[in-house]
C-alpha cells in the first residue's frame, strides 16, 4: 500500500536503530512521551522499545480518548441508551468500555437498548432521518481528529432542520492536556513525540508553547515504525544539542497551520469547557469542548438534562503515575492479574491504545525496566 509500505522496511529500521544508538549518550537517560494512543499501540506492535538503547525510554501519554473518558460519562451514555425513545450511535471503540457498574454499551444492547455502531457521523444523520419518531443521540468522543466530523454533522443537522438529532459531546483537546501533564508535580519528561493526525487538524504551530514555555522539544510523527524511530532520533538530537524546538517529521500530512476548514468548523460549533475531568489525570482546565449556545438544540446534555458525576477509579490503579512517566504498567499490583483487557479496572487497560493494554498485548515478554 502506497504511503504505508515504504515506512515499514525492517532493514531500514535496523539502520535507524544503529543511528539512534550512535547518538544516544550513555551518560544520560532520555524520557520521551508519545502523547497519542495510536503511537503507543504502534510502538509496541512494531517492537520499537526492543530496538532502542536502554537509556531511551518511551513514556505512554494520555492520548487515548477512550481511556481517559471518565466512567461517569460512560454511565450517562448507558443511561441514555436505556431510554426507549433513544437510538444511541457511537464509534466501535466505545462499545466494550465498562462504566462504573461494570456494564458496557454492548451489554446494554444485548439487554434490548438500541445501540448502533457508526462508521461516519453522516450515518447518524441518516438514521435520524429514517427514524423521525425516535431520538438519535451521537455519543461523540475523541481528540481534534474526530471533532471536525462531529461539527460537520451538527451543521448538517441544522441545515436539514433535524429535530431528533443530538450530540453527547466528550471531545477533548491535545495542547491543554499536554500543559496539564507538564504542570503536574514530579513529571519526568524530556520531550514529546507529537500526535500525527491531531496535528493534521491543529497544525505544527499549535505546539510552540511546549518549546517556549516548558523548554521541551516536540517532534510530530507519523504512525509507521520508521516515522516513529525517525522522530525519536530527532528528539535525541535536540536534547543532545540543548535545543527545544517543534519539528515536523510528518510533513507529508501535517502543515504548519493545520486544516483551516476543520478548525473554522470546530470553532463555529464548539466552545471550551472551563474544566473537564480526565480519567487518571483529574480536572484539566480548558481541555474539552461543548456545543455553543447557538447549537443548544443539538446538545444531548441539555435535552436530556444529563448529570455525569465523578466516579472514583479503582484504588489499586496506577494510571495517573504511569501517564506522568513515574511508573510502568508492571509496577501496578493488579496488572495482568485482576486487570486485563477483558476485565479492565483502570483507564490505561480500557482500549488497545492504552499503555497497560499495549504492554499486556505486546510487551509482557520483555525484560523489566525501571521508569
Binding footprint of other proteins on the chain (CB under 8 A)? 1-4, 6, 9, 11-12, 14-16, 18-19, 22, 36-38, 63-66, 91, 93, 118-123, 141-143, 145-146, 148-149, 152, 195-198, 200-201, 223, 226-227, 230, 249, 251-255, 259, 261-262, 265, 351, 353
Give contact residues for ligand SF4 (rule: CB under 6 A).
Answer: 314, 316-319, 322, 329, 332, 334-335, 339, 345-346, 348-349, 356
The smaller minimum CB distance to other proteins, of residues 198 and 330, is found at 198
Q: How far is the CB of 93 from ligand SF4 (least distance, A)?
A: 16
For residues 208 and 195, give the distance between their C-alpha atoms in angstroms, rounded to a whole number. 14
The smaller minimum CB distance to ligand SF4, of residues 149 and 341, is found at 341
Determine whether 367 is exposed, middle or buried from the number of CB atoms within 10 Å of its CB (0-12, 13-18, 19+).
Answer: exposed
* Per-residue cell: 371: 521508569
Sign of the torsion angle spanned by Cα atoms 114, 117, 357, 188: negative
Question: DSSP assignment of 137-180, as one string?
Answer: EEEEEESTTTHHHHHHHHHHHHHHT-SSEEEEEEEB-HHHHHHH
Q: How far is the CB of 340 from ligand SF4 (least distance, A)?
A: 8
Q: How far is the CB of 62 from other proteins (least distance, A)?
A: 12
Q: How far is the CB of 267 from other proteins (least distance, A)?
A: 14
The smaller minimum CB distance to other proteins, of residues 16 and 330, is found at 16
Q: How far, in whole angstroms, is CA 124 from its chain's centroid?
A: 22
Q: How far is the CB of 352 from ligand SF4 (least distance, A)?
A: 13
Three-class DSSP category at 194 = strand
Report what 218 binds from ligand SF4, other proteins, none; CB cut-off 5-8 Å by kind. none
The smaller minimum CB distance to ligand SF4, of residues 55 and 314, is found at 314
φ, ψ (nearest 5 deg) of residue 84? -60, -30
Angle of helix 225-240 versus helix 10-23 axis, rounded to 10 = 10
In order of 15, 39, 173, the CA distances from 19 in angstroms are 6, 21, 34
Report what 177 binds from ligand SF4, other proteins, none; CB cut-off 5-8 Å by kind. none
Q: How far is the CB of 47 from other proteins (least distance, A)?
A: 18
Amino acid at each position: 500500500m502506497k504511503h504505508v509500505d515504504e515506512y515499514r522496511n525492517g532493514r531500514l529500521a535496523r539502520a535507524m536503530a544503529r543511528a539512534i544508538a550512535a547518538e544516544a549518550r550513555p551518560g544520560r537517560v532520555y524520557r520521551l512521551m508519545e502523547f497519542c494512543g495510536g503511537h503507543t499501540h504502534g510502538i509496541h506492535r512494531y517492537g520499537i522499545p526492543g530496538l532502542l538503547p536502554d537509556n531511551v525510554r518511551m513514556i505512554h501519554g494520555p492520548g487515548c480518548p477512550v481511556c481517559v473518558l471518565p466512567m461517569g460519562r460512560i454511565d450517562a451514555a448507558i443511561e441514555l441508551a436505556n431510554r426507549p425513545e433513544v437510538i444511541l450511535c457511537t464509534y466501535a471503540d466505545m462499545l466494550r468500555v465498562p462504566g462504573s457498574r461494570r456494564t458496557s454499551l454492548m451489554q446494554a444492547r444485548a439487554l434490548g437498548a438500541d445501540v448502533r455502531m457508526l462508521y461516519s457521523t453522516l450515518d447518524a444523520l441518516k438514521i435520524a432521518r429514517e427514524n423521525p419518531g425516535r431520538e438519535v443521540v451521537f455519543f461523540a468522543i475523541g481528540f481534534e481528529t474526530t471533532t471536525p466530523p462531529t461539527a460537520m454533522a451538527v451543521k448538517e443537522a441544522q441545515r436539514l432542520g433535524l429535530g431528533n438529532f443530538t450530540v453527547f459531546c466528550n471531545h477533548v483537546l491535545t495542547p491543554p492536556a499536554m500543559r496539564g501533564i507538564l504542570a503536574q508535580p514530579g513529571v519526568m519528561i524530556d520531550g514529546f513525540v507529537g500526535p500525527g493526525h491531531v496535528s493534521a487538524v491543529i497544525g505544527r504551530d499549535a505546539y510552540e508553547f511546549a518549546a517556549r514555555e516548558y523548554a521541551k522539544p516536540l517532534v510530530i510523527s507519523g504512525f509507521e515504525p520508521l516515522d516513529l524511530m525517525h522522530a525519536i532520533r530527532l528528539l535525541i538530537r535536540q536534547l543532545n544539542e540543548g535545543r527545544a524546538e517543534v519539528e515536523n517529521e510528518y510533513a507529508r500530512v501535517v502543515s504548519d497551520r493545520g486544516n483551516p476548514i476543520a478548525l473554522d468548523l470546530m470553532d463555529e460549533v464548539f466552545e471550551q469547557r472551563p474544566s473537564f475531568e480526565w480519567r487518571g489525570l483529574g480536572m484539566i482546565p480548558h481541555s474539552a469542548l461543548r456545543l455553543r449556545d447557538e447549537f443548544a438544540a443539538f446538545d444531548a446534555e441539555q435535552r436530556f438534562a444529563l448529570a455525569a458525576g465523578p466516579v472514583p477509579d479503582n484504588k489499586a490503579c496506577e494510571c495517573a503515575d504511569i501517564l506522568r512517566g513515574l511508573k510502568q504498567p508492571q509496577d501496578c499490583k493488579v496488572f495482568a492479574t485482576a486487570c486485563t483487557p477483558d476485565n479492565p479496572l483502570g483507564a490505561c487497560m480500557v482500549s488497545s491504545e492504552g499503555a497497560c493494554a499495549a504492554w499486556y498485548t505486546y510487551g509482557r515478554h520483555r525484560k523489566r525496566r525501571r521508569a
